[in-house]
Amino acid sequence: MTYQNPPVVVAEVFFYLPLLAVPFGIYYTIKEHDYRFILDCAAFIALLPILQFNSYGVFLYGAGFLCALLRCVSAFTHDIASIGHSINRFTVKNTLDSFPREMLVSDRLGRIVYINNAMIVLLNRYEIPTHSRAEVIIAGLKSHAFRNASEHSFILYDEGNYLLIEEQEFKKGKQLSAHLVTEEVNLNENLQKTNLVLQEEQKNLRSSLDGIKDLAHNQEKQRLRSLVHDSFAEEVSFVHQILQNPKTNDMRPLKTLVKRGLGNYEDSYEDLTQMIDFYRLLGIHFTLTGDFNACPHKKEGLEFLRETIDNAIRHGNATKITITSKVEGNYFLLITSNNGNVPSKCVPHNGLSHLKAMTENRGGSITIETTPEFTVTASVPIA
């Protein structure tokens, strides 16, 4: 029998198997209009009567039709995959159509492949044709840009919002997408304003520091002037008193002054009594009224007294000096008056200017009166 001969069985399999190409040929002829499949099948059917039913003939013709079958199966599998991709693309398209942010995709020639509804609305708002090429659309949007972010991105101000339009190139084309960056832009502008304010404050601070440096420099100069003035005031007063009063023959003050000059230091009095005892050696008579211990700033008070006493001796040839200490309200008043000559015009010199600055630094003031005697009054708050 035929089925007992293995080669014949194999030949029959190759004979009938290509018949499966017939339905595939009909399918692709209708769907793809590819007439190669139906021609293959027609040739197969036409050759059936003249085939020699032996192993070699069947193998010869069956091999050709098997290739046709494989081609049909491959094409059919490709269509099944294309159907799946179409379903996925349809799903993605529906998702992108409803996406609130603008997007479009173009091919390498700039032709629009996909554009969502949000991008269409944006282009219509700026009267940019939606059927234009990608380059024309990008140029049209850039002409309304609020700021360029980079070579391939820019910020667009649209109906109260800031949109970052980004241009991205990929292998098969180009994509244009928009991102909402209103909060980021507002934050950046606030930071820039704050930075400008800080720069202005830094400028003012530097100016203030320069002013403080100048003030400190002037104060240091004033302090050195006062130091020089105070260092020589008593020496000059003593010499002046000797010249004016030949009866002064006590040389102890002179020894003290020489010792201080050689030692190059400035003496300071601990209390009012010590200061008066020194000047009394020069023949000066003092009248004290009130309690000096009520002075809230004794060091500055003693400096005030020494300066005014020196001025009375050197400039006014005074021999009698009255010192008054009293409290009026919240202020302590320290007053010196003398019987010396009253100048016709009172011009504050370096010493008095220093005393004025020192008193004002304590929140007080200095007043000068020339009648009936030359009187200097320092007033400082107690608290």
pLDDT above 50 for 5: no
Q: What is the CATH number of the domain that holds 125?
A: 3.30.450
Let me know if residue 50 belongs to a domain: yes
Band (218; pLDDT cuts 50, 70, 90) = confident
Mean pLDDT score across all residues of the chain? 75
Domain edge (last residue) among 152, 180, 208: 180
Q: Residue 338 has what pLDDT?
A: 93
Let me know if residue 253 belongs to a domain: yes
- Cβ atoms 115, 134 nearer than 8 A: no
Q: Residue 327 has what pLDDT?
A: 93
Q: Residue 46 has what pLDDT?
A: 60
- Residue whose entry in the numeric block shows the structure tokens 């109260």: 160
Mean predicted confidence (pLDDT) in 99-121:
84
Q: Residue 289 has what pLDDT?
A: 93
User: pLDDT tens, 225-237?
Assistant: 655 555 455 555 5
pLDDT above 80 for 183: yes
How distant, in Å, are the alpha carbons of 86, 96, 131 from that of 117?
Answer: 20, 9, 13
Distance (Å, rounded) from C-alpha 213 to C-alpha 42?
109
Distance (Å, rounded) from C-alpha 94 to C-alpha 86?
12
* Domain shared by 287 and 331, yes or no: yes
Cα–Cα nearest to 310, from 372, 225, 222, 238: 238
* Domain shared by 132 and 83, yes or no: no
Band (334; pLDDT cuts 50, 70, 90) = very high
Total domains present in the chain: 3
Question: With DSSP H G I counted as helix, E B as strand and the rest as coil, what are the percentages for the chain, rounded to 5?
Answer: 60, 20, 20
Let me know if residue 212 belongs to a domain: no
In this prediction the pTM is 0.38
User: pLDDT tens, 366-376?
Assistant: 998 888 889 99
Let me know if residue 366 belongs to a domain: yes
Domain housing 362:
234-381
Let me know if residue 301 belongs to a domain: yes
* Domain shared by 152 and 253, yes or no: no
* Domain shared by 283 and 154, yes or no: no
Q: Residue 370 has what pLDDT?
A: 86
Q: What is the CATH number of the domain that holds 318?
A: 3.30.565.10
Q: In what order do the strands lie in the sheet with 285-289?
A: 285-289, 320-328, 331-338, 374-381, 365-369
User: pLDDT tens, 296-308?
Assistant: 999 889 989 988 9
Q: Residue 1 has what pLDDT?
A: 42
Q: Please compute Rg for the chain using Cα positions.
A: 56
* Domain shared by 365 and 244, yes or no: yes
DSSP, res 372: S
User: pLDDT tens, 242-297?
Assistant: 555 555 555 555 555 555 543 444 445 667 888 888 888 778 899 999 999 999 99
pLDDT above 70 for 160: yes
Q: Which amino acid is at 175?
A: Q
- Cβ atoms 325, 298 nearer than 8 A: no
